[in-house]
């Protein structure tokens, strides 16, 4: 269930459920790519996963939108490695304290030739 969805249980009490994260397979399914593609994007530094205590990758909705953007740009003929300048326009991901970790600075050059 997406973060912030309101569900009414049988007795009329309202609860708000928040999704804390998703694993790589869930991210791939929601973004319409394979887990291999997600790992490739990570190897290029385009996507950075949080890590759970058990070492599993942890993603959020921002990561889904980011991977969808990479996929769309790729479908438009832009090489995956060249999508970085477009992705830098996106706001940084918001992570919960359990998955927060420092991100390495991203630098890119755009040639005009």
The structural domains of the chain, with segments of one domain joined by +, span 21-87
Work out the average pLDDT over 65-90: 91
Tell me which residue of 30, 1, 29 sits closest to 16, measured CA to CA: 1
Q: What is the rounded distance in angstroms from the CA atom of residue 6 to the CA atom of residue 75?
A: 35
Burial classification of residue 63, based on how many CB atoms lie within 10 Å of its CB (0-12 exposed, 13-18 middle, 19 or more buried): buried
> What does each C-alpha distance from 80 to 12, 25, 76 come to in angstroms?
48, 20, 10
The answer to whether residue 101 scores a pLDDT higher than 50 is: no
Q: Where are the alpha helices (DSSP H) in the chain?
A: 24-31, 35-43, 61-75, 84-87
What average pLDDT is seen over the chain? Answer: 76
Residue indicated by tokens 């569900």: 7
Banded pLDDT at 110 (limits 50, 70, 90): low
Work out the average pLDDT over 24-48: 94
CATH architecture of 21-87: Orthogonal Bundle (1.10)
Burial classification of residue 58, based on how many CB atoms lie within 10 Å of its CB (0-12 exposed, 13-18 middle, 19 or more buried): buried
């Amino acid at each position: 269930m997406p973060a912030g969805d309101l569900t009414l249980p049988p007795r009329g009490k309202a609860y708000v459920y928040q999704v804390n994260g998703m694993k790589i397979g869930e991210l791939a399914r929601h973004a319409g790519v394979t887990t291999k593609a997600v790992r490739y994007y990570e190897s290029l530094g385009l996507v950075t996963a949080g890590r759970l205590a058990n070492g599993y990758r942890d993603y959020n909705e921002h990561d889904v939108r980011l991977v969808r953007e990479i996929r769309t740009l790729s479908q438009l003929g832009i090489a995956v490695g060249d999508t970085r300048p477009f992705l830098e326009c996106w706001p940084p991901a918001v992570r919960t304290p359990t998955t927060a970790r420092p991100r390495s600075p991203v630098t890119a050059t755009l040639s005009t030739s």
